[in-house]
Structure 1
Amino acid sequence: MDHRAPTSASAVESVVAGTPQSVGSFRFWFEDQRWEWSDEAAAVYGYAAESTQPSTELLLAHKHPDDRALVARSIDAAVRTGEPFCGRHRVIDTSGRVHHVIVVADRMFDDRGLVVGTTGYLIDVSDALEENRQEILDDTLPELVESRAVIEQAKGVLMVVYGINAEQAFRVLQWRSQETNVKLRTLAHQLVNEIPAMGGGPASQRARFDHLLLTMRGDVVAAE
């Protein structure tokens, strides 16, 4: 991933064809705590495109009261350590609706290779996909039948890392498959195969996992 020119969320395919966009991108500069967000990320918070400039204060104001302190500490830690801001929390939009979101991020570098911030995606995993379940199954059933075990393993990893359920984990895999135009089973193989190489404490493992999720491009050929 080129952190100097992160992919706009407008280029990210909808997680399920025909549904509203639920993945937005953002960038956060550590030195002056300056934020940028895509129109899709703004929409999660209830704002129209380009109508509002994001800030740490604004973002924290929209966090669920039970999550606000944790998110504030995560942002402070990111500024102090230069590590990506990431996590799972709840956002309350301008209409009062609660969104369950996952922040998947990686470090952002300047032209000298120095870490200056974090860039990544805000994934809204609030809505169940009941109305789209058959469409998803029609598109992916051959893969699920042929490579069910590895896909289930990949879903399990996502569930543990991000604290989400099986359907939400599948939604994340589906998003990455569509964004990279790589078969879901191939990405699942790569994700599962590279997990054993991760070491360190929980914080560093989460950062490495986010990096893997954002940079994998199906380089590992799925076993037949």
Structure 2
Amino acid sequence: MQRVGSFRFLYEGERWEWSDEVAALHGYEPGEVTPTTELLIGHKHPDDRVHFEAMLAEMLTHHAPFSSRHRIIDTQGRVRPVAVIAHSITDPSGECIGTEGFYLDLTESVDASVREQLDDHVQSFRTSRGSIEQAKGMLMLMYSVSAERAIDVLKWRSQEVNVKVRDVAESLIAESVASLQIPDHTRRQFDNIVLRASSGSRVD
């Protein structure tokens, strides 16, 4: 089973679109159902449903991107933790008309065949490991995911735009360096971590 799949939500008419991978994540065959808000709510873990509905209301009211970390329950009753990462869609005039992005399955019980596929995939990156490892580390830090899930994100984006994973990694690094602003308090916290590294002292 693929661990990353894309989705799109258009505000007008509350229209959802999802890839075959996201359908499978919820337990459906490709084309078996048409995703709706009600269907998605029904798949949320009961403890996460209120948060999801509040986030949905925020998205519809303020046109905020649909990004979240929660649990879904598939058609077989299996609980799957997921991260949903998205950005806004705008029309030619610049008006925000929806949000799109991807689901990342955070379930760590990966079977042997998937592990083998991931191992093969990582092996193919060895000649360009530098930038990919750096991008992977950035994804792990930003989204608090494992190395395997970070590689899944890079692989998914590579397939979406039909370019090499190395190119995706290099673009991610360049855009992050050019665009991201690190708050001073975060930088100071990291300064302390660097200065205390391997000293045995814990940073509170």
TM-score, length-normalised on structure 1? 0.66
Q: Secondary structure at the match of 2:5?
A: strand
Question: By how many angstroms is 1:21 displaced?
Answer: 4.0
Q: Which amino acid aligns with 2:113?
A: E
Further displaced range: 41-50 or 168-177: 41-50
Cα distance change, pair 114–169 in 1 and its aligned pair in 2 (3 A)? same
Measured in 2, the distance between the counterparts of 1:134 and 1:49 equals: 24
Matched, 1:61 2:31: no
Question: By how many angstroms is 1:138 displaced?
Answer: 4.2
1:76 pairs with one of 40, 57, 63:
57
Tell me the equivalent position of 2:190.
none
What stretches of structure 1 of length at least 5 have no aligned partner?
Answer: 1-19, 203-224
Q: RCO (CA 8 Å, sep 6+): is it higher in 1 or 2?
A: 1
2:146 pairs with one of 155, 165, 172:
165
Q: Secondary structure at the match of 2:125?
A: helix
Q: Secondary structure at the match of 2:44?
A: coil
Matched, 1:28 2:15: no
Cα distance change, pair 33–163 in 1 and its aligned pair in 2 (3 A)? same
Tell me the equivalent position of 2:90.
109
Asked whether the equivalents of residues 140 and 150 of structure 2 are also in contact (C-alpha less than 8 Å), the reply is: yes
Measured in 1, the distance between the counterparts of 2:111 and 2:138 equals: 20
Q: Which amino acid aligns with 1:70?
A: H
Asked whether the equivalents of residues 132 and 169 of structure 2 are also in contact (C-alpha less than 8 Å), the reply is: yes
Q: Which amino acid aligns with 1:194?
A: E
Cα distance change, pair 150–114 in 1 and its aligned pair in 2 (3 A)? same
Tell me the equivalent position of 2:164.
183
Measured in 2, the distance between the counterparts of 1:43 and 1:143 equals: 27
Question: By how many angstroms is 1:111 displaced?
Answer: 5.3
Matched, 1:128 2:138: no
Deviations 1:144-177 (A, max 9, x none): 3x44343222112111222211111112112223
2:23 pairs with one of 24, 30, 42:
42
What stretches of structure 2 of length at least 5 have no aligned partner?
Answer: 184-204
TM-score, length-normalised on structure 2? 0.72
Asked whether the equivalents of residues 62 and 92 of structure 1 are also in contact (C-alpha less than 8 Å), the reply is: yes
Measured in 2, the distance between the counterparts of 1:43 and 1:133 equals: 18
Measured in 2, the distance between the counterparts of 1:154 and 1:141 equals: 16
Measured in 2, the distance between the counterparts of 1:54 and 1:184 equals: 30
Q: Which has the higher helix share?
A: 2
Asked whether the equivalents of residues 31 and 79 of structure 1 are also in contact (C-alpha less than 8 Å), the reply is: no
Matches within 5 A, 1:186-201: 186-199=167-180
Question: By how many angstroms is 1:91 displaced?
Answer: 1.0
Question: By how many angstroms is 1:200 displaced?
Answer: 6.7
Asked whether the equivalents of residues 89 and 102 of structure 1 are also in contact (C-alpha less than 8 Å), the reply is: yes
Deviations 1:81-103 (A, max 9, x none): 22211222221011101223232
Question: By how many angstroms is 1:110 displaced?
Answer: 3.7
Measured in 2, the distance between the counterparts of 1:200 and 1:61 equals: 38
